[in-house]
């Protein structure tokens, strides 16, 4: 139930991630090109990346997620400067038309597969509703403000990845496009700016058969949860809205639990426990903003404490493990991808 980041362009027997992959049965890793200080973290060249992925898998007790944020444009871990294919932002592709998204997504997915990446934390399906948004609109991460246009481009992106055996993860639920602040940096509330139309890309893609992954946002929206919990920690948003109302049956990933919107309000143990109680299946620990080598073990202890105290039922944890296992069976070709039907309006 954990995907963790780590530092190093190569790993050996003495690296903590090797022990976590085997001893702790870590669910997967997330790779970054650079640390926040600008130094190289995991990705230096195509050949180096292939070898790193091979080494990670060698230590894994179970088939791992090998994940990146490869949206294209500014949010791009496999960069042209390191020898990878050039990529385009969602906004650029939307201006060129769906055929451009089909073409560029195919190139991107083929390169990811060649390097051993099997999970892309993309596409972004946030609507571009606020031109002053510092993290979505500023970096041209959205396909646009029209849900129908966003869905058509997102579906082209998804289908290209599925053809290469790569899973995807829509983000950032329930919608980050109207926000005025960046949750990497601290508390973000969208109560006064969020619009229900921001749910439409999720509603339409889920209705079309999408069942890979969806990533939660660390955003507070008191219309959706009057208690003021951010979506990642909110049972009303995850179990209520995403699962029951929208009918999502796939894997729910948290955004990075070390982002300040979470870490400034809750300890890591509290954040893990609240996210699990809210319905999150996979806890993402980037180890980029605040690297902690024992975060995975601390997270495991946090979930074990929930079980020991009776605050969570064992069936709830088994349900997450079953969803994760099914997703990995699709990635490894043991189960077929769910065909995506025509996206329909609500």
Residue 104 annotated among the catalytic residues of the structure:
no
- pLDDT confidence tier of residue 294, bands split at 50, 70 and 90: confident
Residue 36 clears pLDDT 80, i.e. is over it: no
CA distance 67 to 343: 26
Closest CA to 303 of 286, 288, 291, 321: 321
CA distance 307 to 45: 43
Domains contained in the chain, CATH given: 2-331 (3.20.20.300)
CA distance 304 to 82: 41
Report the DSSP beta bridge partners of residue 167: 119
Residue 218 annotated among the catalytic residues of the structure:
no
Q: What is the DSSP letter of 83?
A: T
Contact (CB, 8 A) for 169 and 30: no
Residue 346 clears pLDDT 80, i.e. is over it: no
Residue with tokens 């992106």: 157
Closest CA to 124 of 132, 135, 110: 135
Which candidate in 128, 184, 212, 225 is catalytic?
A: 184
Q: How many helices (H) and strands (E) does the chain have?
A: 11, 10
Read off the pLDDT of residues 101-155 as tens digits, 9 standing for 90 and up: 999 999 999 999 999 999 999 999 999 999 888 889 999 999 999 999 999 999 9
Read off the pLDDT of residues 143-193 as tens digits, 9 standing for 90 and up: 999 999 999 999 999 999 999 999 999 999 999 888 876 556 555 888 988
Copy the structure tokens of residue 250: 């796939």
Q: What is the pLDDT of residue 326?
A: 97
Read out DSSP for 236-274?
A: IIIIIIIIIIT---SEEEPPPTTSHHHHTTS-HHHHHHH
Q: What is the pLDDT of residue 288?
A: 83
Residue 283 clears pLDDT 90, i.e. is over it: yes
Q: What is the pLDDT of residue 291?
A: 77
Which candidate in 69, 126, 255, 281 is catalytic?
A: 255
CA distance 120 to 129: 24
Residues 6+ apart with CB under 8 A from 111: 78, 84, 85
- Inter-helix orientation angle 314-331/268-278, to 10°: 80
Residue with tokens 């042209």: 80
Average per-residue pLDDT for the chain: 93
Peptide bond into 103 cis (omega under 30): no
Q: What is the pLDDT of residue 243?
A: 98
Q: What is the pLDDT of residue 151?
A: 97
Q: pTM of the entire structure?
A: 0.95
CA distance 208 to 112: 25
pLDDT > 70 fraction of the chain, expressed in percent and rounded: 97
Contact (CB, 8 A) for 82 and 45: yes
E strands, the chain, in order? 2-4, 28-30, 65-68, 70-72, 75-76, 119-120, 167-173, 213-216, 251-253, 283-285
CA distance 153 to 193: 25
Q: What is the pLDDT of residue 189?
A: 87
- pLDDT confidence tier of residue 48, bands split at 50, 70 and 90: very high
Read off the pLDDT of residues 199-251 as tens digits, 9 standing for 90 and up: 999 999 999 999 999 999 999 999 999 999 999 999 999 999 999 999 999 99
The mean per-residue pLDDT over the stretch 242-264 comes to: 95
Contact (CB, 8 A) for 271 and 262: yes
CA distance 301 to 94: 44
Contact (CB, 8 A) for 108 and 160: yes
Contact (CB, 8 A) for 282 and 2: yes
The mean per-residue pLDDT over the stretch 68-74 comes to: 95
Contact (CB, 8 A) for 17 and 11: yes
Residue with tokens 């024992």: 294
Residue 52 clears pLDDT 90, i.e. is over it: yes
């Amino acid at each position: 139930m954990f995907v963790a980041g780590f530092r190093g362009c190569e790993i050996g027997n003495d690296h903590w991630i090797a022990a976590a992959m085997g001893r702790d049965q870590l669910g997967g890793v997330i790779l970054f090109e650079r640390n926040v200080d600008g130094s190289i973290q995991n990705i230096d060249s195509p050949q180096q990346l292939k070898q790193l992925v091979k080494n990670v898998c060698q230590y894994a007790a179970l088939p791992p997620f090998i994940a990146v944020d490869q949206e294209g444009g500014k949010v791009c871990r496999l960069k042209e400067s390191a020898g990878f294919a050039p990529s385009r932002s969602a906004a650029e592709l939307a201006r060129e038309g769906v055929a451009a998204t089909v073409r560029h997504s195919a190139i991107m997915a083929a390169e990811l597969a060649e390097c051993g990446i099997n999970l892309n934390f993309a596409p972004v399906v946030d609507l571009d509703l606020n031109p002053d948004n510092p993290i979505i609109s500023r970096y041209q991460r959205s396909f646009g403000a029209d849900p129908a246009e966003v869905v058509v481009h997102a579906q082209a992106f998804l289908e290209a990845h599925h053809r290469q055996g790569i899973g995807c993860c829509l983000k950032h639920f329930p919608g980050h496009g109207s926000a005025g602040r960046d949750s990497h940096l601290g508390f973000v509330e969208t109560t006064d700016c969020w619009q229900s139309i921001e749910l439409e890309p999720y509603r339409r893609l889920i209705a079309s058969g999408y069942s890979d992954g969806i990533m939660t946002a660390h955003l507070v929206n008191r219309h959706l949860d009057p208690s003021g919990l951010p979506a990642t920690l909110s049972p009303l948003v995850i179990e209520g809205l995403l699962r029951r109302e929208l009918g999502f049956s796939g894997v729910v990933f948290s955004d990075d639990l070390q982002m300040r919107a979470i870490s400034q309000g809750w300890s890591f143990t509290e954040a893990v426990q609240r996210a699990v109680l809210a319905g999150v299946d996979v806890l993402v620990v980037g180890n980029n903003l605040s690297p902690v080598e024992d975060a995975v073990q601390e997270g495991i202890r946090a979930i074990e404490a929930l079980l020991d105290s009776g605050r969570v039922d064992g069936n709830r944890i088994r349900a997450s493990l079953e969803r994760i296992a099914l997703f990995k069976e699709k990635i490894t070709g043991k189960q077929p991808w769910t065909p995506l039907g025509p996206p329909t309006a609500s």
